[in-house]
Amino acid sequence: MLIAFALGTGVVGVMIYFATDLQSVQAKVNHGFGTGWDCVRMDHGDPLCTKSRP
Residue 9 is predicted with a pLDDT of: 95
Residues in the chain: 54
User: How far, CA to CA in Å, does 49 sit from each of 24, 29, 43, 46?
Assistant: 17, 11, 14, 9
pTM above 0.85, yes or no: no
Residue 49 is predicted with a pLDDT of: 82
Distance (Å, whole) CA 38 – CA 26: 13
pLDDT digits (tens, 9 = 90+) for 1-54: 999 999 999 998 888 877 766 666 665 665 667 778 877 777 888 878 888 777
Distance (Å, whole) CA 51 – CA 13: 39
